[in-house]
Amino acid sequence: MVFHSLPFIFIFLPLGVLGSRFLIKAQLGETRVLFLLLLSLVFYSLSSWQTLPVLAGSIVLNFYASRLVSENSSLEARGRWLIAGLTLNLLVLSASKYAHFTLDNLNVLTGRHWYLPRFALPLGLSFFTLQQIMYLVDCYEGLALPVQFTRHALLIAFFPYVSAGPIVRANDFFRQLDRESPTRADVGLARFIVGLCKKVVLAELCGKLADPVFDSPLIPGLADGWIAALAFSLQLYFDFSGYSDMAVGIAEMLGLELPQNFDAPLRSATVIEFWTRWHITLSKFITTYLYTPMVKAMPPITFKKSMVFTVIAMSIAGLWHGPAWTFVLFGLAHGLAITANHVWRKQMRKRKLPLFFARMLTLGFVVAAFVMFRAHSVLDSGRIYGAMLGLRGGGGLSGPLSALSRPEMLICLSGLLVALAAAMVGPSTKSLFEGFRATRRWVIASVVLAVIALIFMNATATKGFIYRDF
């Protein structure tokens, strides 16, 4: 089950919202926690019932680990249990997600032919593993305390974010479970509709321009390469920010608030700024739970050392996205770009690029780096880069995109232009919903957007969310 399916929109979500808000008004807090947990487990089962035991096992093991980390009187013993808990989580993640990648590379290096049976990747494994790690560390540092099993399970399995985030701090989440009055459902519904349109309209139209080039063995030309690269960047942005908006909107309707995950990242003036606006909760996790511990572990802290750790942390973050060298190189490229930004700031303190030029330079880098993110292999990315550099010939559309009919091409290019305008100069979701009031204009706009989204959903088959695969 996905957020942009008709059964979810017209059956699952309304029943969940009505049940949750009734229990809030009836002041049945613990019953509401159990209701939301059962709702989340049903959602997960309908999405990936085969891997439900992995989620359940992770919840049970980390529930007991959090108590051992928090309640042990000896700091040394707490540290040992923390290391044991983190190791266990990372082993499960590595065995499920990176075993085949590791074995394939060993086979290449040794000339062997070791084989490991393929198995389904548990839905949301990367996200709920980070959630568990963050909770264990917070318990160790005294920033969070162990809670009842149902609350711990709901923190990890809460269906709006279990498959693709945003990543939530435990204390922020638990505090809201005791809320005595519901949040505003009109804000959540409006935000859900905006996210739905981002996904099923803008992301899907951009995907129709990106997929033929990235998935075809045909050699693209200059225009094909740049259109596909830009289209995928916008597809990924509106797909993932659309998911995040729907997740935040669903939680709002259920009476909970989730953190903002995007803030118009494609109009950033530097790559450093980009990572404060793109997948904000993951960026904070990388800084707090990966980069900072590495820096503190090797004093004294110097500029050069911090830059080395920046590159390492971003490379690991790239690998977190998937078991492929393309993701490693994607993270490495961003780590090097962030380092270059810091060096520029350090050496050229009084020299700043014009804002428009800085934004275009950053956008160009981000679009080029996303080619590596989308490509099936490093060699495949080279094919796209070659086209973007004009090594495959210039001129108009050729190769993969030339197969699209003229009407389809015009519709998709129009969608690409609308998506680009929305990303670069349109109002951000954050600004749209700050001080939100359900005015007549907003009601009309929401109805129009909902109708447009339903038309697109009915006219063509939409794909699942991209980040659910990570």
Residues forming the active site: 321
Report the 10 Å Cβ neighbour count for 304: 8
C-alpha distances in angstroms, 337 versus 238, 295, 302, 308, 309?
23, 19, 19, 12, 13
SS3 content of the chain, % helix, strand, coil (to 5): 75, 0, 25
Judge residue 134's burial from the number of C-beta atoms within 10 Å of its C-beta, 0-12 exposed, 13-18 middle, 19 or more buried.
buried
Cβ distance 270 to 358 under 8 Å?
yes
Q: State the Cα–Cα distance between residues 176 and 248, nearest whole angstrom.
A: 14
Reading the block at residue 178, the tokens are 């005791």
The SS3 assignment for 263 reads coil
Q: Is 309 left (phi over 0), alpha (psi -120 to 50) or beta?
A: alpha
Report the 10 Å Cβ neighbour count for 56: 15
Name the E strands within 386-450.
none
Reading the block at residue 409, the tokens are 């091409």
Cβ distance 166 to 244 under 8 Å?
yes
Q: Is 221 left (phi over 0), alpha (psi -120 to 50) or beta?
A: beta
Of 419, 451, 13, 437, give the one whose Cα is nearest residue 193.
451
Reading the block at residue 208, the tokens are 């129709």
Report the 10 Å Cβ neighbour count for 91: 10
Reading the block at residue 124, the tokens are 């949301």
Cβ distance 206 to 241 under 8 Å?
no
Cβ distance 146 to 67 under 8 Å?
yes
C-alpha distances in angstroms, 163 versus 69, 208, 247, 260, 307?
26, 24, 10, 16, 32
